[in-house]
Amino acid sequence: MPYPNEEAALMMSVLSRAGSFREAEIMWRNEYPDRTPHSYKVFIRLQRRIIVKGIVNPDHNKGRQIHRPVRAVRAPDIIASALVNPNDSLRRRESDNGISRSTISRIFRENSFHPYRMSLHQAMTLNDHRQRLIFCNWITQQVRNFHRNILFSDECTFKSDGKVNTHNLRYWAQENPHWFQEMDHQHIWKVNVWCGIVDTHIVGPFFFEENLNRFLYADLIENELPRLLEDIPLQLRLHMWFQQDGCPAHTSLIARHQLNRIFPGRWIGKHGPHNWPPRSPDLTILDYYLWGTIKDLVYRERPTTAEDMKNRIRQAIQSLDSAEIRRANDDFRRRVTACINARGEHFEHRD
């Protein structure tokens, strides 16, 4: 059986003063009548472990006996293994070093090592890096707060089997409520939505009843966008720029002709007056802020119908605070600078 540190120290003191193991048993019972009455065999095993193995408790508790002095001796080896093979698991390090995972974990914590997670990003080419640098350098040459005049736009698909971020969901109770949520992966329906953000204003949402194509998108630009912009201050509309990504519906001739007419020389996108770099969701506020925020709110409970999904999207957008939107929008400048410092490569994982 394992012994607490205090009891182990007392046992070793008795053993060092006794002339024999049976005498140690008698001394223990006389001096510590309130403690466990150990027999002479216990003292025999204790002395054998100390002499042969240098431990106090039995082998099956060996992992608990590597105290700070021993960890300090082995810490350089563990730290060196982390520097050479940072991707090795604790199980592999346990096997390689003969030290328990809990001890290795404590060594890492004591030396300020943290288990960072891998982040996944879309693959880019050298030409992508070049286009991102060109765009970001152009942004830095504009007047201060120029980004607040840009209407960033994008579409997103919300599916009925959308993933719920269970990491952010908790149910505090004294007993397990066996909380669960059903997900229907066989009968899937979806809602396609367009939104825009300019300064602290969210433009939309606008819902497409079908999959997006050039005609639906052209109709949005021609007929729906002016209506959606009615609540935007006139001064902002007069100086507004329009941004879109390289979706095929966006780059169609009909859509580009309309943008050239409505935003002459003031739109950003593929084949536009100013090119939008491909594969750059880290630079548009809808991708790095809005869609994730809305989905966290919408999927907290399972949507029942497409109309229910639309209502939840509207309510989620209305719940957003203008100060929060401003902070997310102004983060665009920091991201532009970070992209330049990274020479057009991915930069989010460096934060």
How many structural domains is the chain composed of?
2
Average confidence (pLDDT) over 81-89:
84
Q: CATH number for the domain including 133?
A: 3.30.420.10
Residues 54, 138 within the same domain: no
For residue 62, give both structure tokens: 């060996």
Residues 161, 287 within the same domain: yes
This prediction has a pTM of 0.66
Look up the domain containing 42 and give its range. 5-110
Is beta strand 241-243 parallel, antiparallel or unpaired with respect to 150-159? parallel
* Phi, psi torsion values for 183, nearest 5 degrees: -125, 125
For residue 92, give both structure tokens: 């592999």
Residues 79, 218 within the same domain: no
User: Which tens digit of pLDDT belongs to each residue from 246-274?
Assistant: 999 999 999 999 999 999 999 999 999 99
**255 falls within a domain:** yes
Closest by CA position to 98, among listed 131, 132, 66: 66
pLDDT tops 70 at residue 2: no
Residues 130, 106 within the same domain: no
Closest by CA position to 287, among listed 137, 192, 153, 119: 153
> What value does the mean pLDDT of the chain take?
85
**117 falls within a domain:** no
Closest by CA position to 316, among listed 292, 290, 286, 294: 294
**45 falls within a domain:** yes
**273 falls within a domain:** yes
User: Which tens digit of pLDDT belongs to each residue from 157-199?
Assistant: 999 877 554 544 555 565 776 655 555 555 688 999 999 999 9
Cβ atoms of residues 296 and 168 within 8 Å: yes
pLDDT tops 60 at residue 68: no
For residue 348, give both structure tokens: 């989010």
Residues 49, 144 within the same domain: no
pLDDT of residue 56: 63
pLDDT of residue 229: 96
